[in-house]
């Protein structure tokens, strides 16, 4: 029973840690499926996290914080869109610039507005998204196994967590069962075909970027006002890049993306468990090795040791109408 | 439909990049203004801090040294069509190479130690860049993502090495044992009193040499030609019999070795020991420097000087105007990358129209 309990708790933190990855990964899925590479996910997560925490601290409402987070992500998407759709610039460079912009501005504005070395003020419970107890969770809590799983693992998360998990089937449906999804996939594979059919390649890509911004904005908001009680410097800590790697590994499909993100969440959850434990042969694993583990795993996944990934064909290429 | 007239060369090479940089700084100024500070005052303090007195100028050149190496590292990879955003990690790991030879031969005269540090640091930096190069060439991993992840791994690795292995017993701060004075790279102030107590050292001259070396390598050798062919047109490179995987791995290793010289400047020249997080963002500045300088050594030199002045001036600014933190520089960096890199052609079409109108009457058309 003790082991079972531990396992449920580890899965519980897996879910919590996977949420921002899932949201960022699905966000990247929309833009990459439409043919726009988005290295700037990292910066959007960070920018949204800052905006959400700052707004929640000032206004006292987590919902306004969420709006601010999405708003900032939308602005950054707009810059990315102008650079890569209208000006046909290099999408990777634009994304990298956005990441630096977020890293610089969040610290700079944080310091000038709040004077706490880049941190935003600590948020109280009513300024954050709090755990929701699902119906009947209290009642079935004591039922062995099923009750426990329902109480610990499924109930008791904040609303953004449920949004992230609902976003997966919704994305799968939109992408594969709707007309918009078909067009989105087509514009990333063969934009000319859509152009010939009289549809605007640019507008479709902008629509994709808007969805991307909304999702990654929710992800950033989750980081600062649901998972933590405020913003701190560079709190995205490479999650945007890990989400991109997860997307590649998931071959740009929503359900595999969920699985890969959960795997990364699980690794992250194990981090806290592994610290300070002495292993039989190797002894105590240094903290730094455990910290580096998700990055190393990402590299191994990226190196494609488990099957080759083929990106949407038009990904990263600006579309030029023939004259 | 009107035919697009290409811009005169001087506009393309000089005016357009300068206008883009000006735009980046204007927006930076607006951000400073938006938090209630006067950007013109800020510029005044910065110029004085960077050039106004001897040791300030020395610091400017010290930062410039770092940025030249990081900028050249990014530029070199860029010519081969790769975007290396890992100079930060490459320089950090190179610090290990530098400190290993320095502590191994501690007490050796600097004239022998300096080349040893360059070689050892260079090898470590090259190794750290070679792995992403290998993964790109052989496994198709996206070089941008791998180089960034290698920055994170470098932080963990070096954190462990410095705090658990190199840190001598009884020392509180996270740093290695010191290098003896005779083995350190000499400071320029020993030859020129002008630089007072600033840390600019012989590595600055190495940076100048590196600028010429990169120019020679990229534009005057067969290797450089192959590199540029690969960067411009991978298919043509393949038909010409250029092995792209070998080129990618060699170029990345060279790029990492260039970034490694940041470690020689800092560990061997200034601190005389390996300190936790000594790179402090210099590697990332290299990305901005490379774009601003259009990956050409002359441009890299000018952009490095500008960022060197920004860094040193920024320190001065932090004393005089406490409302502005050093992170403003990161923002400027981002704006420079955005406007010179991703949106570099924003002003091209308006300029083309302007010049077309200007030239028509003169051309007697």
Across B78-102, average pLDDT? 94
Provide the pLDDT confidence category of residue A152 given band limits of 50, 70 and 90: confident
Burial A236-255 (b: 16+ CB within 10 A, else e): bbbbbbbbbbbbbbbebbbe
The HSE-up count of residue B301 (CA atoms within 13 Å, CB side) is 14
Burial tier of A165 (Cβ tally within 10 Å: 0-12, 13-18, 19+): middle
pLDDT digits (tens, 9 = 90+) for B261-301: 999 999 998 999 999 999 988 998 898 889 888 899 999 99
Is the separation of the CB atoms in A94 and A102 below 8 Å? no
A100·B330 Cβ contact <8 A: yes
pLDDT at B2 over 60: no
A101·B334 Cβ contact <8 A: yes
Pairing of strands A283-284, A278-279: antiparallel
Q: Which of A281, A99, A323 is nearest to B341 (CA)?
A: A99
Using CB atoms and an 8 Å cut-off, which of residues 137-156 of chain B contact chain A?
139-142, 144-146, 148-150, 152-153, 156
* Residue B185 to chain A, least CA–CA distance (Å): 31
pLDDT at A99 over 60: yes
Using CB atoms and an 8 Å cut-off, which of residues 305-334 of chain B contact chain A?
323-325, 327-334
| Domains recognised in chain A with CATH numbers | 2-302 (1.10.3470)
Q: Where in chain B are the domains?
A: 56-291
Q: Output A120 or B182, whichever has higher pLDDT.
A: B182
pLDDT at A258 over 80: yes
Provide the pLDDT confidence category of residue B362 given band limits of 50, 70 and 90: low
Q: Which of B332, B288, B258, B207 is nearest to B87 (CA)?
A: B258
* Residue A306 to chain B, least CA–CA distance (Å): 11
Using CB atoms and an 8 Å cut-off, which of residues 183-212 of chain A contact chain B?
none
Show the beta-strand stretches assigned E in A234-288.
Answer: 278-279, 283-284
Q: What is the pLDDT of residue B239?
A: 92
Across A30-52, average pLDDT? 92
Contacts of A2 (CB under 8 A, 6+ apart): none
pLDDT at B190 over 90: no
pLDDT digits (tens, 9 = 90+) for B204-245: 999 999 999 999 999 999 999 999 999 998 899 999 989 989
d(CA B332, CA A74): 21
Kindly list the residues from chain A whose CB atom is less than 8 angstroms away from the CB atom of residue B150.
299
pLDDT digits (tens, 9 = 90+) for A194-217: 888 888 888 999 999 999 999 999
What are the helix (H) ranges across chain A?
Answer: 2-33, 41-59, 62-81, 91-114, 137-140, 146-148, 159-177, 179-189, 191-196, 201-221, 239-249, 254-274, 287-302
Provide the pLDDT confidence category of residue B3 given band limits of 50, 70 and 90: low
Q: Output A297 or B246, whichever has higher pLDDT.
A: B246
* Residue B187 to chain A, least CA–CA distance (Å): 32
Provide the pLDDT confidence category of residue A87 given band limits of 50, 70 and 90: confident
A108·B330 Cβ contact <8 A: yes
Across B38-63, average pLDDT? 88
pLDDT at B90 over 70: yes
Helices (H) and strands (E) counted in chain A, each on its own, are: 13, 2
Q: Chain A within 8 Å of B343 (Cβ-Cβ)?
A: yes
Residue B314: in which H helix or E strand, if any?
helix B297-320
pLDDT over 70, % of chain A: 95
pLDDT at A322 over 70: no
Mean pLDDT score of chain B: 88
Contacts of B360 (CB under 8 A, 6+ apart): none
Q: What is the pLDDT of residue A125?
A: 78
Q: What is the pLDDT of residue B364?
A: 44
ipTM: 0.84
d(CA B310, CA B63): 9
B330·A323 Cβ contact <8 A: no
d(CA A282, CA A289): 13
A292·B156 Cβ contact <8 A: yes
Is the separation of the CB atoms in A22 and A168 below 8 Å? yes
* Residue A102 to chain B, least CA–CA distance (Å): 8
Provide the pLDDT confidence category of residue A142 given band limits of 50, 70 and 90: confident
Q: What is the pLDDT of residue B74?
A: 95
* Cα separations in angstroms, A153 against A24, A167, A263: 22, 18, 16
Burial A94-107 (b: 16+ CB within 10 A, else e): bbbbbbbbbbbbbb
Kindly list the residues from chain B whose CB atom is less than 8 angstroms away from the CB atom of residue A288.
156-157, 159-160
pLDDT at B198 over 90: no
d(CA B70, CA A40): 22
pLDDT at A143 over 90: no
- The two three-digit tokens of residue A39, written as one number: 């290295």
Provide the pLDDT confidence category of residue B1 given band limits of 50, 70 and 90: very low
* DSSP code for A278: E
Kindly list the residues from chain B whose CB atom is less than 8 angstroms away from the CB atom of residue A299.
135, 141, 146, 149-150, 153
pLDDT at B365 over 80: no
Provide the pLDDT confidence category of residue B109 given band limits of 50, 70 and 90: very high
pLDDT at A222 over 50: yes
Q: Output B158 or B314, whichever has higher pLDDT.
A: B158
pLDDT at B5 over 50: yes
A100·B156 Cβ contact <8 A: no
Is the separation of the CB atoms in B244 and B238 below 8 Å? yes
Is the separation of the CB atoms in A153 and A8 below 8 Å? yes
Mean pLDDT score of chain A: 85
Q: Output A127 or B215, whichever has higher pLDDT.
A: B215
Residue with tokens 């060279």: B254
N- to C-terminal Cα distance for chain B? 17
Q: What is the pLDDT of residue A135?
A: 74
Report the range out of A1-5, A145-149, A223-227 with the highest average pLDDT: A223-227
Contacts of A90 (CB under 8 A, 6+ apart): A84, B341, B342
pLDDT digits (tens, 9 = 90+) for A165-187: 999 999 999 999 999 999 999 88
Q: What is the pLDDT of residue B360?
A: 66
């Amino acid at each position: 029973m003790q082991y079972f309990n531990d396992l449920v708790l580890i899965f519980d933190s897996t879910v919590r840690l996977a949420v921002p990855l899932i949201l960022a990964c699905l966000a990247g899925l929309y833009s990459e499926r439409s043919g726009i590479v988005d290295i700037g996910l990292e910066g959007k997560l960070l920018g949204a996290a800052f905006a959400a925490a700052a707004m929640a601290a000032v206004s006292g409402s987590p919902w306004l914080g969420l709006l601010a987070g999405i708003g900032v992500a939308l602005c950054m998407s707009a810059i990315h869109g102008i650079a890569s759709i209208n000006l046909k610039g290099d999408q990777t460079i634009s994304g990298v610039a956005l990441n630096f912009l977020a890293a610089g501005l969040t610290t700079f504005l944080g310091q000038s507005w709040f004077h706490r070395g880049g941190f935003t003020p600590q948020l109280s419970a009513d300024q954050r998204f709090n755990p929701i107890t699902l119906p009947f969770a209290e009642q079935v809590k004591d039922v062995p196994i099923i009750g426990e799983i329902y109480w610990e693992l499924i109930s008791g998360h904040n609303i953004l967590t449920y949004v992230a998990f609902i976003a997966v089937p919704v994305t799968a449906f939109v992408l594969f069962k709707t007309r918009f999804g078909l067009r989105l996939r087509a514009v990333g594979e063969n934009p000319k075909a859509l152009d010939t059919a009289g549809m605007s390649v640019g507008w479709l890509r902008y629509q994709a970027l808007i969805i991307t911004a909304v999702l990654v904005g929710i992800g950033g908001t989750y980081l600062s006002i649901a998972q933590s009680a405020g913003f701190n410097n560079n709190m995205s800590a490479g999650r945007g890049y890990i989400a991109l790697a997860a997307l590649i590994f998931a071959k740009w499909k929503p359900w595999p993306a969920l699985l890969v993100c959960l795997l990364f969440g699980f690794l992250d959850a194990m981090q806290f468990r592994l610290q300070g434990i002495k292993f039989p042969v190797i002894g105590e694993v240094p903290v730094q090795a455990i910290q580096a583990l998700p990055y190393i795993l990402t590299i191994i996944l990226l190196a494609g040791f488990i099957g080759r990934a083929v990106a949407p064909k038009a990904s990263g290429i600006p579309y030029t109408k023939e004259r | 439909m009107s035919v697009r007239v290409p811009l005169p060369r001087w506009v393309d090479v000089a005016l357009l990049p300068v206008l883009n940089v000006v735009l980046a700084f204007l927006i930076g100024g607006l951000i400073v203004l938006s938090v209630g500070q006067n950007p013109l005052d800020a510029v005044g303090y910065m110029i004085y801090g960077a050039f106004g007195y001897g040791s300030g100028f020395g610091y400017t050149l010290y930062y410039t040294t770092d940025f030249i190496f990081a900028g050249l590292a990014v530029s070199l990879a860029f010519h081969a069509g790769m975007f290396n955003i890992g100079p930060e990690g490459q320089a950090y790991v190179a610090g290990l190479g530098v400190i290993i030879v320095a502590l191994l031969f501690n007490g050796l005269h600097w004239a022998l130690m300096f080349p040893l540090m360059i070689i050892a640091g260079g090898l470590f930096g090259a190794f750290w860049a070679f792995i992403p190069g290998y993964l790109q060439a052989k496994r198709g991993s996206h070089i941008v993502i791998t180089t960034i992840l290698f920055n994170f791994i470098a932080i963990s690795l070096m954190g462990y090495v410095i705090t658990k292995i190199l840190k001598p017993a009884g020392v509180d701060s996270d740093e290695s044992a010191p290098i003896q004075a005779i083995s350190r790279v000499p400071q320029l102030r020993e030859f020129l009193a002008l630089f007072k107590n600033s840390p600019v050292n012989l590595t600055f001259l190495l940076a100048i040499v590196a600028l010429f070396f990169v120019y020679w390598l990229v534009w005057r050798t067969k290797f450089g030609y192959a590199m540029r062919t690969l960067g411009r047109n991978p298919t043509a490179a393949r038909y010409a019999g250029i092995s792209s995987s070998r080129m990618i791995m060699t170029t990345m290793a060279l790029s990492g070795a260039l970034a490694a010289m940041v470690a020689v400047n800092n560990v061997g020249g200034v601190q005389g020991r390996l300190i936790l997080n000594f790179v402090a963002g210099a590697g990332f500045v290299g990305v901005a420097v490379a774009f601003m300088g259009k990956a050409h050594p002359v441009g890299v030199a000018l952009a490095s000087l500008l960022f060197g002045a920004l860094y040193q001036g920024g320190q001065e600014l932090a004393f005089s105007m406490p409302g502005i933190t050093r992170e403003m520089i990161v923002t400027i960096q981002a704006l420079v990358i955005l406007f010179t890199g991703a949106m570099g052609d924003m002003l091209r079409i308006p300029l083309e129209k302007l010049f077309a109108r200007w030239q028509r009457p003169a051309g007697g058309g």
